A and B are shown apart, each in its own frame.
Chain A
Amino acid sequence: MQLTLLALILALLTVIGFQLGRSRAAASVGGRVAELHSVPSYHGLYVALWAGLPAAALFVLGTASEGWLAMQLVLSGLPDRLTAGDVQSLSLLKADILNLAHGVATGREPDPAVVAAARRYTSLRSLADWSLLAVGASLAVAGLAWGRHRVGPDLRARTAVERVTRVALVVCSLVAIVTTVGIVLSLLFEALRFFTVVSPLDFLFGTHWSPQMAMRADQVGSSGSFGAIPLFAGTALITVVAMLVAVPIGLMAAIYMSEYAGRGVRIWLKPALEILAGIPTVVYGFFAALTMAPFVRSVGGALGLDVSSESALAAGIVMGVMIIPFVSSLSDDVINAVPQSLRDGSYGLGATKSETIKQVVLPAALPGIVAAVMLAVSRAIGETMIVTMASGLTANLTANPLQAVTTVTTQIATLLVGDQEFDSPKTLSAFGLGLVLFGVTLCLNVVALRVVQTYREKYD
């Protein structure tokens, strides 16, 4: 409540600051705007930033820390018998206080001291909110006054605004990087927990995958097995099938689009192909499970082959279709980037169109095409839904595309679906798999980038 109010006050003050700064700047030179170092709207922005930024920073800091601060104060006021537990009982105590403060039933008769603490916590929070509102609003007013005071013909408001803009842009890009680092770290720590239970060697080189852990010691099938080789093999198999479909078709489509199709065809064809990329993978999934898998099975049957109803082939083919637009769209771009002068040079020597494409255009575009294929591979490796629906969960170690296999991503999904304990090796193994997956796709992307940079011809 108080915080919403503060946000509104800040918004209002920045708007007022902008108006004040602008008009004061114009007034300071008697309306002869050309005598100002910066045009009046920059002065307006300058004052608005002074009014808004420090108070907003305080707002963020305050809301982030006040809960923690209030809790520390409350805990220090509690008798020792309550606070002297281990980490777990302390966090339980904190949860109790928070629940009582928010009026949520804890299901237990609360200790009177805890009830008092909850009441104290509520009042502290409210006090903190009000003081944050007061300090924030006065900081905004002070900022506004300071900014307005600085406004004058010689103030380099434009430069100052430029600096703030730059910092804002840096902060935005940092958000992306920090998030990535955070995800990787959490993946890493959970995976390390997994590797304290299961040896990394067993995980990476074991050939039997059966991620079960006994709830009770006497349970049947109590020993789990975490050899991930069948998953890696399954992933590789499906990826190979998908690439065998996607690369030739995507590349040929790209060549047709960039070299043969007229403008009229091209402006329709390219978006049409890109629609393929917009279909949700779940839809591909049931296409694979309900249409492609039975089709593959019946064709296999007609040829006298034994095809299981969920086959790597069906999943791979559909995944390949899904990836076609990746390959075609990226390749089309790189083929278009090959300078016309190279084609002219080839035609000028009496080469035909297909000779020119085969011997000049494609070699020149090769680095880009390789990068496109690499990106498509990492996309195929990361794909989950199609395989879950069409190729099943059986961890077969086989190179036969007519059998059911499972992939790393599918296993991660199944391991974490439903109610799970988050400290059993079964669920933790998902993080181990995730880490391997991340490593592989990262390597692929790095290699793709390196290929592009190393072999890129400089055309200027």
Chain B
Amino acid sequence: MATTIQTQLKLRPSGDRRADQRGDGAPANKMTARGVAVFYGAKQALKGIDLDIPENRVLALIGPSGCGKSTFLRCLNRMNDTIDGCRVEGRIALDGEDVYGKTIDAVQLRARVGMVFQKPNPFPKSIYDNIAYGPRIHGLASGRDELDEVVQTSLKRAGLWAEVKDRLREPGTSLSGGQQQRLCIARAIAVSPEVILMDEPCSALDPIATAHIEELIDELRANYTIVIVTHNMQQAARVSQRTAFFHLGEMVECDDTEDIFTNPRDERTQGYITGRYG
């Protein structure tokens, strides 16, 4: 299985984005957030977040419930636009371009910054149509054959192809929870996003399915920039290279994952990762 995925990755034309890396080995920042504040009505959910999202890395957002991790995640692809009474301040840039600027269309942005949700949410369509949904609305594939190929590639990347290749016409909801979540990841990949946001993608899954997804995240890192919100500290440690700790609407600290877990600078971080609160 792993070899097929690797082959697929090599075939991908944009697979050489790592070439953008700076000479010193540190990756370029795919997205940057500066002074991001979010209000739900009168309530302030995020207080001036500054955060860099490195390219082809996995950034984990950790912190206790209600600390604003998901809110921040949903700012990155403007999913908060769909919530009534939500106001975003500050600047978020994708490849240097302000995503809240006039030149960017929120709908197009979401095709570039894909999202995987907490609960698997396959559409009430066949497995094939679930994957083909995005490419169809964006006109990414001309003709049946090309669409078949996109579907196959996406399912292979998500490590689901072998399990579903004989039942592409069955409804997406007939899959198990873990398969459904990989279907949702495949669906996000199918529109060739540059960044994938994952909001607690494993919280509704059993440990085996979780291990599958984590493996997958690690493989996807080669081609995509990934931001993952998780409540599971081991998961953050396993899959991410950078970790940011959020607390009460603030970003307390952000560092290499290893440093956060072995040598946190802030005592709140220390308290959270050692389980004293949260």
Contact = CB atoms under 8 A, between A and B. Distances in A.
A349 B79 contact: no
B45 interface: no
Q: Which of B77, B112, B115, B116 has the most CB of A within 10 A?
A: B115
Contact of A349 (B82, B119, B125, B134): B134
A360 B187 CA distance: 14
Nearest to A458: B173
Interface in A410-433: none
Contacts of A360: 123-124, 133
B44 to A, nearest CB: 23
Max chain A C-beta neighbours (<10 A), residue from B107, B108, B191: B107
Contacts of A344: 79, 82, 115, 117, 121
B144 interface: no
Could you say which interface size class chain A belongs to? 20 to 34
A349 B114 contact: yes
Contacts of A342: 121, 123-124
A328 to B, nearest CB: 22
B123 A350 contact: no
A360 B123 CA distance: 6
Contact of A350 (B116, B121, B134): B134
Interface string A342-374: 111111111110010001100110000000000
B125 A348 contact: no
Interface string B87-120: 0000000000000000000011111101111010
Contacts of B114: 348-349
A185 B12 CA distance: 72
Contacts of B115: 344, 348
Q: Which one of A348, A349, A350, A457 has the greatest number of beta carbons of chain B within 10 Å?
A: A348
B22 interface: no
Contacts of B134: 349-351
A414 B79 CA distance: 61
Interface string B125-165: 10000000110011000000000000000000000000000
Contact of B110 (A263, A349, A363): A349
A341 interface: yes
Given A349-B187, A349-B188, A364 B110 contact: no
Contacts, number: 75
A346 B119 contact: no
A346 B133 contact: yes
A350 B110 contact: yes
Specify the main secondary structure of chain B where it touches its partner: helix
Given A364-B124, A457-B124, A348 B110 contact: yes
A355 B136 CA distance: 11
Nearest to A360: B123
Contact of A348 (B79, B84, B119, B122): B79
Contacts of A457: 124, 173
Contacts of B173: 457-458
A348 B77 contact: yes
Most chain A CB neighbours (cut-off 10 Å) among B117, B124, B134: B124
A349 B121 contact: no
B184 interface: yes
Q: Tell me the dominant secondary structure on chain A's binding face.
A: helix
A206 interface: no
Contacts of A77: none
A301 interface: no
Nearest to A263: B84
B180 to A, nearest CB: 11
Contacts of B137: 349-352, 355, 359
Contact of B191 (A262, A341, A345, A350): A350
A339 interface: yes
Contacts of B121: 339, 341-342, 344-345
A339 to B, nearest CB: 7
A300 to B, nearest CB: 43
Contacts of A346: 123, 133
Given A344-B117, A344-B121, A345-B123, A352 B188 contact: no
A365 B38 CA distance: 33
A350 B107 contact: yes
Contact of A347 (B79, B84, B108, B187): B79
Contacts of A347: 79, 82, 107, 110
A350 to B, nearest CB: 3
B117 A349 contact: no
Contacts of A364: 123-124
Nearest to A455: B124
Given A355-B137, A363-B124, A364-B123, A350 B79 contact: no
B232 to A, nearest CB: 21
A334 to B, nearest CB: 13
A351 B107 contact: yes
Given A341-B121, A363-B125, A348 B188 contact: yes
B240 to A, nearest CB: 21
Closest 10 CB pairs of A and B: A350-B111, A348-B115, A341-B121, A350-B110, A349-B134, A345-B121, A364-B124, A457-B124, A360-B123, A355-B137
22 contacts: A262-B84, A341-B117, A342-B124, A343-B82, A344-B82, A344-B115, A344-B117, A345-B121, A345-B123, A347-B110, A348-B79, A349-B110, A349-B114, A349-B133, A349-B134, A349-B191, A350-B112, A359-B123, A359-B133, A359-B137, A360-B124, A363-B123
